[in-house]
Amino acid sequence: MTAAMQREDRSVESLRGARRVAVIGAGGLGNPVAVALAEAGVALRLVDDDRVELSNLPRQVLFTTADLGRPKLEAARDALVQRFGAEVECVTGRLDATNRDALIGEVDLAIDATDDPAARFLVNDWGLAKGRPVVIGGVHRFLGMVFAHAGHGPCFRCLFEEEGPEVETCAAGGVLGPMAGWVGHLMAERALALLNGDRDTGYLTTLDGLRRRARKVRLPDGCDHAPVSSPRKPMAAIHIKIPASLRKFVANLDTVDVESEDVRGALDALEARHPGVKSKLCDDSGNVRRFINIYANSEDIRFLDNLETRLVDGAELQIVPAIAGGWY
């Protein structure tokens, strides 16, 4: 196995059970997106309100003729669980301005895989408001596009200020089946990169199936569309190194990636992903237990600002037991 393959395997393993992604739309784009993310071990929150039809089968690879008439959510969930042992949450509904936050939920990243141009703006705006990354995809006949932002601009509205009065959907204009797979897998690739800390966003990828060509178009820096109350930049990406004796509480991971501005927030984020683990590190008053040492970039936080120690993007937190035992 090459070094590059080993790095990729470690990146995928670090996501297993540690990240949750909302995929809005379980159709032609949502199918390949869900397959790629489930195979990487990402927990999924699928949002859709449609049923499987015969015309779906050529490009919606999770479904078979046995699924005709079934809700897409149920059929997709069953296939993902059977094939990958995936963790899948199903939410029935169609995204609009009144239910956006409720349907997307508390996730690390949201993906728009709908046939609804209005939903692209809703997902884009959710990411800006929450400071969370989003991936947006579209396919029409022989053409496709993928865009992503990391919780701040440039955003989708920097490309298109608002939805046009007459936007032809792929349902109306048609789509080549393999194009949906190409676009969907590129969307999943961008999502996995963002979940692993990649912040190289601010560009649009266009795909031309007839010419077999992909092109990257970079947007100017800056964005005027983020709400005033939302962060313009995401919180720092923090890598928490887990000792062997604690890994059984975090799905056997040796590293858990979270986002936070300080040590306290990083431990809270670790607890949110793996409930119960913080009690092994902190007492009932929230203070670090006596037999635990925590280092921020190799510096003991006791000699910094303890739990209030500020963290920069890419910082590493190392949890070290001061004595044998202590976890129960």
Supply the pLDDT for residue 84.
94
Supply the pLDDT for residue 230.
42
The string of pLDDT tens digits covering residues 64-99 is 999 999 999 999 999 999 999 999 999 999 999 899
Q: What are phi and psi of 241, to 5 degrees?
A: -85, 125
Paired sense of beta strands 134-140 and 316-321, if any: unpaired
Q: Is residue 307 over pLDDT 70?
A: yes
Q: Are 107 and 22 in contact (CB under 8 A)?
A: yes
The string of pLDDT tens digits covering residues 194-211 is 998 887 888 999 998 888
Least Cα distance to 28 among 170, 146, 180, 206 occurs for 180
Q: Is residue 289 over pLDDT 80?
A: yes
b/e burial code for range 302-327 (CB count within 10 A of at least 16 → b): eebeebebebeeebebbbebeeeeeb
Supply the pLDDT for residue 1.
40
Annotated active-site residue 170? The verdict is yes
Paired sense of beta strands 255-260 and 213-218, if any: unpaired
Query: What span, in angstroms and rounded, lies between the C-alpha atoms of 203 and 300?
Result: 39
pLDDT-based confidence at residue 173 (cuts at 50, 70, 90): low
The string of pLDDT tens digits covering residues 7-20 is 445 445 555 545 89
Q: Is residue 163 over pLDDT 70?
A: no
Q: Is residue 164 over pLDDT 90?
A: no
Q: Is residue 175 over pLDDT 70?
A: no
Q: How many residues are recorded in the chain?
A: 328
pTM: 0.67
Q: Which residue would you say has higher pLDDT here, 61 or 17?
A: 61
| pLDDT mean across residues, the chain | 85
Catalytic residue chosen out of the listed positions 90, 155, 158, 170: 170
Domains assigned to the chain: 3-218 (3.40.50.720), 236-321 (3.10.20.30)
